[in-house]
Amino acid sequence: MRDVDQGAVPQVAATIRINGRPEQLLLDARVTLLDALRDRLGLTGTKKGCDQGACGACTVLIDGKRMLSCLTLAAKCDGREVVTIEGLASDGLRHPVQDAFIRHDAFQCGYCTPGQIMSAVGLLAEGRAGSDDDIREFMSGNICRCGAYSNIVGAIREVAGRGGA
Amino acid sequence: MRPFEYIQATEPAQAVATVTADPATDYVAGGTTQVDLMLKDGILSPSRLVDVTKLPLQWITADAAVIRVGATTTMEELAADPTVVRRLPFVRESLLRSASVQLRNMATIGGNLLQRTRCRYYRDPAVDACNKRKPGSGCAAVTGPARMHAILGASPHCIALHASDLAVALVTLDTVVHILGPGGVRSVPLTEFYLEPDGTPDIENVMAHGELITDIEIPLLPEGARQTYLKVRDRTSYEFALASAAVAVVVEDKMLRDVRIGLGGVGTIPWRAYDAEHVLREAPASNETFRAAAEAAVRDPFTVPGTAFKVELAKRTLVRALQTVTGVTQ
């Protein structure tokens, strides 16, 4: 850790509950939640794609709602609850959406996958998986350059209880 | 990017005092414009940010005549509001056709109205000529490749588009913006809130530095008013409009009584098409009157080669929205 310039750069203290664990951070106010997760906390499951709010790879749940961690200042998350892809499994068991993505081969290179899965978890909680068209519309914030879309829709459809075909 | 200080405001008047006192202090709400322009594009560089999302401005109330929306209510929250769902479905449509769910969970209503243009020349610090960013420097968009740009309210000084969908619906409803400043609260109709660029593209609205939108007041349409928001774009979802039309009408015996029309994707400001409304009011609903209204709506466009297609596209978008909302297609 270099501590040059520490006096010149304003620091912000933030306590963020991440995957159920309170994390106390002292941050340069410029640090985004995405960079705090990856570089400070070693939670590299959340991916940096475009880093400008266009691709959805950095999607996490903040207070239960899906948001983009690349456009969220970490300092804004003080007192809030963040769930990342690393926090989805419970008792060593994968989340149903994670299982469905594996079963449906809903990825190719895998880079967008954590964001796709977090977004899908959000979408299911919002009750927006009623039709394939709805899934496509309300997953449109997550871009997949490999084009695994049809299998992503299939995986979400299955978890929504509308069949696994 | 230069370092900045971050403060969470807890009381509106104190937030206003803090920002008013210092030209280098800005507000941040959802962050989808401010953080983007500061951290990613390097266009804005305030030395201090005052976060307004902890202020008590995240609420929606409604009575028989109006719905009031606190400025830090999110776009997803407003779209889900029961009064909006029942009485203002075209406002809901304009919201749900904006951005993505992730962005709508972050972006606030006040921030949506104050969002900055997506003009790529404005957002690229390597581009010298931008009257909006650097007054007097010229406009690179007028001579360079342009597509997602404005044709109404535009001029050789600036063709930057106001990309909000929501504001296009709200501007038709005579929405009122409540603004808190150091001297108290003032109220400005949304139709008078935005300023066409003319010779000063850097001045986008009536807000003075430090003023804060606290809430907006949206008058409801009469029960039975028909309404639609039609958005035409390069892809089906998660894309800005090439052209859009917000239309609300009251129809009696195929005669148009109340008519409200807003156009998006084409204006330097969210565009209220008064001339088109005038053509249609007390006129029969027909393709002929719809087309006449569309001609009136886009009468004096300023185009560059990349945006010339929008003249006809905007007209057809409005005609189709009028057909949809009236059920008249002949």
Contact B268, B195 (CB under 8 A): no
Chain A residue closest to B77 (CA)? A65
Asked whether residue B282 is domain-assigned, the answer is yes
- B106 SS3 class: helix
Closest among A150, A79, A152 to A115, alpha carbons compared = A152
Alpha-carbon span A121 to A37, nearest angstrom: 19
Chain A residue closest to B105 (CA)? A67
- Mean pLDDT, chain B cut into blocks of 10 residues (330 residues total): 93 98 97 90 93 98 98 98 98 98 98 97 96 97 97 98 98 98 98 97 98 98 96 97 98 95 98 98 97 97 98 98 96
Supply the pLDDT for residue B19: 98
Supply the pLDDT for residue B56: 98
Supply the pLDDT for residue A162: 74
Per CB-CB distance under 8 Å, the chain B contacts of A135 are none
Q: Residue B251 is part of a domain; what is its CATH number?
A: 3.30.390.50
Q: Does B99 touch chain A (CB under 8 A)?
A: yes
- A–B interface: beta-carbon pairs under 8 A: 85
Taking domain A11-87, whether its CATH number is 3.40.50.1820 is answered by: no
Number of domains comprising chain B: 1
Chain B residue closest to A137 (CA)? B237
Burial (Cβ within 10 Å: 0-12, 13-18, ≥19) of residue A138: buried
Asked whether residue B25 is domain-assigned, the answer is no
Closest among A82, A93, A72 to A16, alpha carbons compared = A82
Asked whether residue B295 is domain-assigned, the answer is yes
Question: Which residue(s) pair with B86 in the sheet?
Answer: none
Chain A residues 39-98 within an 8 A CB cutoff of chain B: 51-53, 56, 59, 62, 65-68, 71-73, 75-76, 78
| CA–CA min distance A76, chain B (Å) | 8
Facing B6 at nearest CB: one of A8, A12, A72: A12
Q: Does B80 touch chain A (CB under 8 A)?
A: no
The residues, ordered by sequence, that sit 6+ positions from B205 with a Cβ below 8 Å of its Cβ are B114, B193, B194, B195
Supply the pLDDT for residue A163: 65
Alpha-carbon span B26 to B109, nearest angstrom: 17
Asked whether residue B263 is domain-assigned, the answer is yes
- A119 SS3 class: helix
DSSP code at position A151: H
Question: H helices within chain B, ranges in order?
Answer: 12-20, 34-35, 75-80, 82-87, 89-96, 101-106, 109-113, 140-143, 166-172, 274-280, 287-297, 309-326
Supply the pLDDT for residue B330: 87
Asked whether residue B314 is domain-assigned, the answer is yes
Mean pLDDT for chain A overall: 94
The range of the structural domain enclosing residue B261 comes to 226-326
CA angle, A122 then A124 then A130, to 5°: 140
Supply the pLDDT for residue B11: 97
Pairwise CB contact (< 8 Å): B3 & A29:
yes
pLDDT of A3 above 60: no
Contact B111, B28 (CB under 8 A): no
How do residues A9-42 score in pLDDT, each as one tens digit? 889 999 999 999 999 999 999 999 999 999 999 9
One-letter amino acid identity for B38? Answer: M
Per CB-CB distance under 8 Å, the chain A contacts of B75 are none
Pairwise CB contact (< 8 Å): B39 & A126:
no
Chain B residue closest to A28 (CA)? B3
- Tell me which CATH code domain A96-159 carries: 1.10.150.120
Alpha-carbon span B262 to B168, nearest angstrom: 5
Q: Does B39 touch chain A (CB under 8 A)?
A: yes
How do residues A91-138 score in pLDDT, each as one tens digit? 999 999 999 999 999 999 999 999 999 999 999 999 999 999 999 999
Helix A149-159 with A113-126: angle, nearest 10 deg: 40
Chain B residue closest to A61 (CA)? B102
Contact B240, B265 (CB under 8 A): yes
For chain A, which residues make up each domain, given as ranges?
11-87, 96-159
